[in-house]
Amino acid sequence: MIGWVSILVLTLPIALYEITTFNHLSISRFDSDKMINLGGLVTNYRFASTTFSNSNTYVVILCFCLPFLMASYWQAKNLTSKYALAAIFLFSCFVLFVNASRGGVLCLILYLLVYFYCFFKH
């Protein structure tokens, strides 16, 4: 669990930098000049790919990390750890929604359903 959460801790600051500044690492397959059409409104496409060259690849990594992040939250003993893990979770959800990956959002919904099912089961 520590390894998967560490991936998030290391890549989320890069992702937030990419989203807020439109600057991407040189290994990114897309550049910040990519445009998206939102029903007649054409705008710059905000995305985060961090060190994974593609925003969809980063979404896959986020989806792999989320169950371990949620399990870490479940097992955290002190309040400071719970707050830190909750903040990491919220930033991860923000990046998932900004990257606009349908599969990532679907995985997030499924993870939350399973998490709340297990939470109320105990």
pLDDT tens figures, 30-79: 555 565 556 776 655 566 767 666 777 888 889 999 999 999 998 999 99
Residue 109 exposure: Cα atoms within 13 Å on the Cβ side: 7
Dihedral sign from CA coordinates of 44, 52, 81, 71: positive
> 15: pLDDT confidence band, cut at 50, 70 and 90?
confident
pLDDT surpasses 70 at 22: no
Dihedral sign from CA coordinates of 43, 60, 24, 88: positive
Structure tokens, 109: 């919904």
pLDDT tens figures, 79-113: 999 999 999 999 999 888 888 778 888 999 999 99
**What's the angle, vertex CA 118, arms to CA 73 and CA 90, rounded to 5?**
35
More confident residue, 79 or 28: 79
